[in-house]
Amino acid sequence: MKRTIDVCLTPNLIEQHDLAGKVVLVTDVFRATSCMVAGLATGVKSITPVLEVDECLKLQAQGYLAGGERHAKMIEGFDLDNSPFSYMDEKAKGKDIAMTTTNGTFAINKAKGKADEILVASFSNLTPTAKYLQSIDKDVLVICAGWKGRPGLEDILFAGALVKKLSETHKNEEDSTHLATAAYDDAEDDMVAYLQRASHLKRLKSLAGDDIPYCLIKDQFDVVVHLVGDKLLLKN
C-alpha cells in the first residue's frame, strides 16, 4: 500500500487535516523556510521558531541572535532580517537563532505537538527532503505558510514540486494536491518568469528583488531540517 501526500493550502485550513502519525512539512518559500534551510546548511547551530517578537527578544537576552520580520520588514532591535543571505552571513555561524515571521513560524507552531515529525523545507533542499520522505513509512502533509492566512503561490509551487517528486511512492488524491501540481506544471520551466507574470498580484510587489530568484533555486543544499523540541536542526 502506497503512502499518501496531501497539501494544506494555508495554515488556516489545518483543522481540516488529521496530523497524527504523519510527517508534516512546512514551507514558506518567501522567505522563512528558505532562511532556515540556508542558515542551518551553512553553519547556524539551531533556529528556534517563535510566534512573538517579545519571545525573540527574551531569547536574544540569553545569547541567541534575533531574526525575522513583521509585514516583510526587519524588526527594531533584531540582529537579522528575513533574507536567506543574512542567515548565511559570517555573524550567524555557530549561533543559536530565535526567529519570528508573519507566516512561516506561525505555520510551524500550528503543527507542533500534533504530528509525528515536523520538517521545514524550501526549493533549496527539495530533493534531499523528498528522498528522506521516501525513506520512511509515513503519510506526508505539506503545509503552505501563505500570507496572513491566505494562499501564497510560491508555497503552492513548492508543494506541487514535492508531490511530483513523490508520485511513484505517495498517492495524491485530494483536490489541493491537483491544484498544486497543475500550478507547478505551468511554472516549472521558469519559475522566476512565472512569478513575474503574476506580479500584478499585490503581495508579490512588496517582496525584495534578489531574494525572489534566490529562493527559487533548487537543491542548493543536501540537508534535511526537522524540529527537535523547540529547535530546528539538521537531521543526521
Site for its own copies, rule CB under 8 A: 9-10, 12-13, 15-16, 146-153, 156, 171-176, 178-179, 182-183, 186, 198, 200-203
**Amino acid code (one letter) for 76:** E
Least distance to its own copies, CB of residue 150, Å = 5
Closer CB to its own copies, 20 or 61, in the complex = 20
Closer CB to its own copies, 10 or 122, in the complex = 10
Distance in angstroms (rounded) separating the CA atoms of residues 73 and 187? 28
Look up cell 527539495; give the residue. 126
Q: How many CB atoms lie within 10 A of CB 62?
A: 8
Specify the pairing of strand 117-120 against strand 225-228. Answer: antiparallel
Closer CB to its own copies, 73 or 150, in the complex = 150
Distance in angstroms (rounded) separating the CA atoms of residues 7 and 11? 11
Closer CB to its own copies, 150 or 218, in the complex = 150
Per-residue b or e along 81-95, where b marks 16 or more CB atoms closer than 10 Å to that residue's CB = bbbbebbbeeebeeb
Q: Which three cell numbers stand for residue 86?
A: 543574512
Least distance to its own copies, CB of residue 176, Å = 5
Least distance to its own copies, CB of residue 159, Å = 12
Least distance to its own copies, CB of residue 67, Å = 25
Least distance to its own copies, CB of residue 5, Å = 13
Closer CB to its own copies, 35 or 156, in the complex = 156
Distance in angstroms (rounded) separating the CA atoms of residues 38 and 199? 25
Distance in angstroms (rounded) separating the CA atoms of residues 3 and 82? 34
